[in-house]
Amino acid sequence: MPRLPESSRRQAIVEMVRLYQSGWSCPKIASAFGLDPSTVNTHLHIAGVQPRSPSASHRIYNLDEHAFSCDSPESRYWVGFLLADGCMMRSGKSYCIELSIAECDHAHIEAFRLFLKSNHPIKTKNRPKDNSGSYHGSPRSSITIQSAILGESLIKLGVVPGKTSSATTPDHLKNDVDFWRGVVDGDGHITTSAVSARPSRNRKEHRTYTIGVVGTQAICEGFYDFAITQVGEYERRSKKSVCLGNHFATKISGQRALRLIEIIYRDAAVALPRKLASAMRLLSGSTRATR
189-240 confidence digits (pLDDT tens): 999 887 655 555 555 567 789 999 999 999 999 999 999 999 987 666 657 8
| Residue 177 covered by a domain | no
| Residue 60 covered by a domain | no
Q: Any idea what the CATH number is for the domain that residue 262 is in?
A: 3.10.28.10
The residues, any chain, with a CB within 8 Å of residue 287's CB and separated by 6 or more, are: 192, 194, 207
| Residue 175 covered by a domain | no
* Structural domain span for residue 119: 73-164
| Residue 209 covered by a domain | yes
| Residue 64 covered by a domain | no
| Residue 68 covered by a domain | no
Contact (CB, 8 A) for 209 and 200: no
Residue 166 pLDDT > 80 = yes
| Residue 174 covered by a domain | no
Q: 248 exposed, middle or buried (CB, 10 Å; 0-12, 13-18, 19+)?
A: buried
pLDDT tens digits, 20-44: 877 777 888 888 888 888 888 888 8
Contact (CB, 8 A) for 88 and 161: yes
- Which one has a higher pLDDT value, 166 or 152? 152
Rounded-to-integer distance, Cα 178 and Cα 247, Å: 23
Q: Are residues 86 and 20 in the same domain?
A: no
Total structural domains in the chain? 3
- Which one has a higher pLDDT value, 259 or 284? 259
Rounded-to-integer distance, Cα 215 and Cα 249, Å: 6
**Mean pLDDT value across residues 80-103:** 94
Question: Sign of the CA dihedral 9, 61, 57, 36?
Answer: negative
Q: Are residues 139 and 232 in the same domain?
A: no
Q: Are residues 88 and 35 in the same domain?
A: no
Q: Are residues 190 and 160 in the same domain?
A: no
Residue 270 pLDDT > 70 = yes
pLDDT tens digits, 48-64: 888 876 656 566 788 88
Q: Which amino acid type is present at position 59?
A: R
| Residue 217 covered by a domain | yes
Contact (CB, 8 A) for 289 and 191: yes
Q: Are residues 31 and 107 in the same domain?
A: no
Q: Are residues 228 and 279 in the same domain?
A: yes
pLDDT tens digits, 54-91: 656 566 788 888 899 889 999 999 999 999 999 999 98
pLDDT > 70 in the chain, percent: 84
